[in-house]
Amino acid sequence: MTSQSNLYLLPAGSGAQTSDEGAAPWTDEQGADLVVVANRLPVRHSSSPGDEGWLPSPGGLVSALTSSLQDLNGLWIGWPGAIDHEEPPESYGGIRLKAVNISAEEYEEFYLGFSNATIWPLYHDAIRSPTYHRKWWHTYRNVNMRFAEAIARSVAPGGTVWIHDYQLQLVPQMLRVLRPDVVIGFFFHIPFPPSELFMQLPWRREILTGLLGADLIGFQLHSGASNFSRLARRLTGASGTDSGLTFEGRDIRVGAFPISVDCRLIAEKAADPAIRARAKEIREGLGNPEFLLLGVDRLDYTKGIQQRIKAVSEMLADGTLSAERQVMIQVAVPSRESDAHYEQERHDLERAVGEVNGEYGLVGHPAIHYLHKNLPFDELIALYLAADIMLVTPFRDGMNLVAKEYVMCRSDMTGKLILSEFAGAASELRGAYLVNPHDLDGIKEAILHAMNSGPKETRDRMSRMRRATIRRDVYDWAKGFLSALQQTPHATRLRALEDPSIESTTP
């Protein structure tokens, strides 16, 4: 896509602002043709000795979007991740960056409050009770408006904006008002709840209307898309189907775009002799156990880590597992530590691990090795290679990329995955041992089944999961979303205005 200066001269009645110069009144001189907007920038500031400064945020999302951003004169807008910090660089790794800063009060009310203590638990099956505070809501609205204004100033006339996730649900409509000339996509990384839960939200209509400002709204699963469409029809006067809505005279596309991982990068790392040697070293360091069970999660109450520890503890108690022959490693990545629920979760988890080790561990053989830290990606790959059984048992999860990362490491078709049926990944990874994470006996049976399954069953299951994962990596996901966004009626109409030989899909 190019900078489409004349697109800003939309016909009277289109609702757009016009400008004699053909330049958007909001836009800085060098507007970006593609703007990615997320709560966080793709960089984080580190103060660790020897590692000070701005570092890239880990994960496939950043890599997947980098090439589109580089190709399309792109810009990433987000929060730098801390209140008091140096200004982030203007660009990093070939991506232009623009920071939206938040105050200490906004950190409490927008980030910890409305985003992570209202929306996060509500959208994850209310596993913890969501808290509703009018003050948090006002701050959420104000911060969303600041994001919308930053985008409005940065996007080129007729440009494309891709907004990510639950912290920014009001931004599409706010931006639509400021810049009717741009194409707006929104993607939810987390689940979108059914009406029984969503109806609790005192500001349910405002949230739906905020999202309906987008031209395309993407979800991890079809269930999220249909939950949203039904609610929009019921509460906002939107009409249409689960895949397309009409609201205030505009057509909005709705659909599922399951996210994935960087399959090639992971496969390359898993074949790296140094990382394979490290995997061997890990197993040797543990006394070459018969089975190594592994959990890797952000330390979050949605992840079901304690339930999993309880299942292992009961198996140690009844003798199905023994600390000498079977070892578990649980990596819990620190997260949202200033929130009371997260602090409590850490406390309860560490007490549970301590109790299991006190009861069933032997000198030199703890039953559970627990790490509360961020591990380098290479070390994670070594753990995935070392583990015989991977436990991914969240109570609810948008997708869960750990499951897909594990699968991508097992090119020799070994390794067994125990996966919650409430993780988005379960809809693709049908070769996993699927469990209900609330059912302790079910988790124990699945561990036992995985331990006893023969090489043929293991191979069949793993190859099925690998085929499903390889089919669509994170690059395909990003391309798929952006190309669906370009096919929305609004994008087609904008292109038709620029080039009359293109047929518009709307009258």
DSSP E strands: which ranges in 349-468? Answer: 368-371, 389-392, 416-420, 433-435
Smaller CB separation from ligand F6P, 39 or 458? 39
Residue nearest to ligand F6P (CB): 189
- Least distance in Å: CB of 39 to ligand F6P? 6
- Give the dihedral sign, CA 120/122/128/130: positive
CA distance 274 to 214: 46
CA distance 211 to 201: 15
- What residues make contact with ligand F6P under the rule CB under 6 A? 39-40, 165, 189-190, 335-336, 398
Angle at 442 between CA 436 and CA 443, to 5 degrees: 80
Token couple for 295: 């959990």
Residues facing 20 on adjacent strands: none
Smaller CB separation from ligand F6P, 6 or 338? 338
Q: Which residues, 6+ apart, have CB-to-CB distance to 160 below 8 Å?
A: 1, 33, 34, 35, 72, 182, 183, 185, 482, 485, 486, 491
**Which candidate, 150, 225, 174, places its Cα nearest to that of 481?**
225
Angle at 96 between CA 92 and CA 97, to 5 degrees: 85
- Least distance in Å: CB of 498 to ligand F6P? 34
- Least distance in Å: CB of 38 to ligand F6P? 7
- Least distance in Å: CB of 196 to ligand F6P? 22
Smaller CB separation from ligand F6P, 316 or 401? 401
CA distance 480 to 477: 5
Smaller CB separation from ligand F6P, 10 or 35? 35
- Least distance in Å: CB of 473 to ligand F6P? 18
CA distance 182 to 180: 6
Smaller CB separation from ligand F6P, 187 or 360? 187
Q: Which helix (H) or strand (E) holds 349?
A: helix 340-360
- Least distance in Å: CB of 68 to ligand F6P? 18
DSSP 161-229: EEEESGGGTTHHHHHHHH-TTSEEEEE-SS----HHHHTT-TTHHHHHHHHTTSSEEEESSHHHHHHHH
Neighbours of 489 (CB within 10 A): 18
- Least distance in Å: CB of 59 to ligand F6P? 7
Smaller CB separation from ligand F6P, 67 or 335? 335
- Least distance in Å: CB of 190 to ligand F6P? 5
Smaller CB separation from ligand F6P, 190 or 356? 190
- Least distance in Å: CB of 55 to ligand F6P? 15
Q: Which residues, 6+ apart, have CB-to-CB distance to 181 below 8 Å?
A: 7, 8, 10, 16, 17, 24, 157, 158, 494
Smaller CB separation from ligand F6P, 336 or 444? 336
Neighbours of 230 (CB within 10 A): 14
Smaller CB separation from ligand F6P, 40 or 230? 40
Phi, psi of 422 (to 5 degrees): -100, 10
- Least distance in Å: CB of 425 to ligand F6P? 13
DSSP E strands: which ranges in 242-399? Answer: 244-247, 250-256, 291-298, 326-333, 368-371, 389-392
Smaller CB separation from ligand F6P, 123 or 360? 123
